[in-house]
Structure 1
């Protein structure tokens, strides 16, 4: 039976990173990434629905993240799911988390992206549509995933926000 365990998240850190070292000397850090899902309610109003995902960073990823990222920093995480199970006071517990294998800092170099959230309303585009969640990428700070094996061109996936936008190049 074939299986595939891969997760890609783009979101913001919910707190500052606390770096620690295990006895073998390897760096580790546990962070939480907030990922928003934007949907339309039955009344036609847009609602952001956040999902909070626990992520474990190891080695150099943990060290780089603790040095350059802080609460609110936008980040791309690629990794795999891991289910932890334990028992406390006779109660069986479990928790699903992501083990980070690749981490990419997003946003500007100066402040980790926190200056982008000013509480202002999104800018209006032609046609009355809003420009939601726009992030300008520095060509040196975003990995080129087109060289990964199995990479494909992006394809439209449904009737999400902006799906009918004529400026989308597909």
Structure 2
């Protein structure tokens, strides 16, 4: 069985890097426009871990355009009122930064060399997304 998700959209709020045990984690929402219907946007919850989370935190902010490749994960839990709940998130395995370096959005929060900025990401603007 296959569980692959690819989304292209814009980050909806500034990212916050958190520590979860020995791993770094970033949760964010991605706004994805429907290319076939005007004024139709979906919002997807995304979580990233480790180096991917660190790179997103260092080089992206609210409004940054990115491509996320990952898989869907469903978490089930019981809330405070005893009701069963379910949350579906995209677990990001790979992220591509899609903003141009000259645009105002997606500017690095701090100066870094290009080899570090592209570590763990494969930027390919030829994708049809």
Superposition TM-score, scaled by structure 1 size: 0.60
Does the C-alpha gap of structure 1 residues 112 and 33 become closer, same or farther in structure 2, counting only changes over 3 Å? farther
Alignment map for 1:10-159 (pairs within 5 Å): 10-23=8-21, 25-39=22-36, 47-88=38-79, 89-111=81-103, 113=105, 142-143=123-124
CA distance in 1: counterparts of 2:18 and 2:29, whole angstroms: 16
Flag the structure with more relative contact order, 1 or 2, with Cα contacts below 8 A and sequence separation at least 6.
2
Moved over 4 A (4+): none
- Does structure 2 conserve the Cα–Cα contact (< 8 Å) formed by 1:70 and 1:112? no
Q: CA, structure 1 residues 86+21, in 2 after alignment: closer, same or farther (shift >3 Å)?
A: same
Give the Cα separation in 1 of the matches to 2:24 and 2:126: 26
RMSD: 2.5
**Deviation of 1:108 (Å):** 1.5
Q: Which consecutive residues of structure 2, in runs of 5 or more, have no partner in the other structure?
A: 108-121
TM-score by length of 2: 0.78
Hey, what's the Cα distance between the residues in 2 that align with 1:105 and 1:49? 23
Q: Would you tell me which structure has more strand in proportion to its own residues?
A: 2
Instruction: Count matched residues.
Output: 114
